[in-house]
Amino acid sequence: LQRLRARLARSNSALGKGLLALLSRGQLDEEAWEEVEDTLLAADLGVQATTELVDKLRTRVKIENTTDEASVRRWLHEDLLALVDPSMDRSVANSRIEGRPAVVLVVGVNGTGKTTTVGKLARVLVAEDKDVVLGAADTFRAAAADQLQTWGERVGVPTIRSDREGADPAAVAFDAVKAGAELEADVVVIDTAGRLHNKVGLMDELGKVKRVIEKQSPVDEVLLVLDATTGQNGLRQAEVFGQVVDVTGIVLTKLDGTAKGGIVVAVQRQLGVPVKLVGLGEGPDDLAPFDPEAFVSAILD
Ligand code: GDP
């Protein structure tokens, strides 16, 4: 965790350092506040959150009549933390529920890191002593099932898949949940396809996968995987997926490759659900629970 924190700090400190330098330079005129706004917008915080944050800071600076660095740092910390909303429940379903495995559906556009995330999540769950079954319902991309199976073998959990390219993803998902029940697993984690070029097709397919699973078990968690480096594009994707399925949590991948950590705030606002996990690299251990306090500290320290 320490190592991941350091990596997050490296990628995001540009934001915090820039802000602190601007804010503690004394004499905050209109131009300086615009620079603060630009810095926040450049970090993908979004217009609404940026406006709120800057209004709050301006008021504080005025009332307290100081731009002393320690004070500014404290205010920034408090206000950023409030934006990230530490009160949200960020737990991921990981245990049997009423005598059946928890079902976690992982959705998102191809290339965002969906399959990798399912593999890393399996590893986290196994480390917590959970029995896991993986479902390779991304049957559109032939390599996806192989990729997931490789993760499964590496982690030591079974992967339910079809050998037929273009097989019905809903059928594979159904089989995975069935296998999970038979094996008395704790959790079934299902990878899905994410072709966004055809919104209607995606809606039909994801909707069907969910409906078919629900013939035998409730779906407890729908994790939407978003690539943190895609900015506004990622937000649009979030909107589309939000219309198709009830997303319960967001996984923000590739946070190691961007200084645009503000996307955490923007995407939570967009969907009204918490960022639960973050991807901080391509390695098997590079998935971490999202910790608001550590995140804000990483930005500012
Ligand atoms: P999918 O098409 O959404 O299933 O995407 P993949 O899981 O195949 O991942 C696409 C690429 O992103 C791969 O090269 C992954 O190694 C890489 N990737 C996934 N998560 C992360 C992350 O958190 N950080 C970085 N740097 N790369 C990642």
Spatial neighbors of 63 by CB under 8 A, at least 6 apart, are none
Pick from 266, 261, 268, 250: nearest CA to 299: 261
Q: What is the ipTM, given to two decimal places?
A: 0.98
The residue count of the chain comes to: 301
From CA 30, how far away is CA 10, in angstroms rounded? 30
Q: Which residues of 158-192 are buried (b: 16+ CB within 10 A; e: fewer)?
A: bbbbbeeeebbbbebbbbbbbbbbeeebbbbbbbb
Residues with CB under 6 A from ligand 1: 108, 110-116, 253-254, 256-257, 279-282, 286
- 113 annotated to bind ligand: yes
> In whole angstroms, what separates CA 5 from the centre of its chain?
16
Contact between 292 and 87 under an 8 Å Cβ cutoff? The reply is no
Report which ligand 1 atom has the smallest distance to the Cα of 119.
7
% the chain with pLDDT above 70? 94
Report pLDDT digits (tens) over 19-51. 788 877 777 888 888 988 988 888 888 899 999
- What's the 210 CA to ligand 1 centre distance in angstroms? 24
208 is in an annotated binding site: no
- pLDDT, the chain, mean: 89
Residue 135, annotated as binding a ligand: no
Q: Is the pLDDT of residue 267 over 80?
A: yes
- Residue 111 Cα, ligand 1 centroid: separation in angstroms? 6
Q: Which of 105, 258, 264, 282 to mutate to test the pocket of ligand 1 (most atoms within 8 A of CB)?
A: 282
Give the model's confidence band at 237: pLDDT under 50 very low, under 70 low, under 90 confident, else very high.
Answer: confident
Q: How confident is the model at residue 96 (pLDDT cuts 50, 70, 90)?
A: very high
103 bridge partner residues:
188
Q: Is 198 annotated as a binding residue?
A: no
Average pLDDT over residues 185-198: 86
pLDDT at 15 over 80: no
182 C-alpha to center of ligand 1: Å? 31
CB 156 within 8 A of CB 144: no
pLDDT greater than 90 at residue 227: yes
Do the Cβ atoms of 237 and 231 come closer than 8 Å?
no
CB-based contacts of 250: which residues, under 8 Å, 6+ apart?
A: 223, 224, 225, 226, 238, 267, 268, 271, 273, 274, 275, 276
Tell me if residue 224 falls in helix, strand or coil: strand
The stretch 58-75 carries a mean pLDDT of 87
Task: Find the range with the poorest average confidence among 9-23, 24-38, 72-86, 164-178.
Answer: 9-23
Ligand 1 centroid to Cα of residue 113, in Å, is 3
CB 184 within 8 A of CB 130: no
256 is in an annotated binding site: yes
92: nearest Cα among 117, 125, 123:
125
- Scored b (16 or more CB within 10 A) or e, 103-132 reads bbbbbbbbebbbbbbbbbbbbbbeeeebbb
Region 207-222 average pLDDT: 95
User: From CA 85, how far away is CA 250, in angstroms rounded?
Assistant: 14
Residue linked to tokens 């996307």: 263
Write down the pLDDT at residue 12.
61
Ligand 1: centre distance to CA 282 (Å): 6
- Closest residue by Cα to residue 84 from 106, 58, 109, 52: 52
In this predicted model, what pLDDT tens digit does every residue of 132-150 receive, in sequence order?
A: 999 999 988 878 999 999 9
The conformation of residue 97, written as its DSSP 8-state character, comes to: B
pLDDT at 4 over 70: no
SS3 227: strand
Q: Phi and psi (nearest 5°) for 135?
A: -120, 125
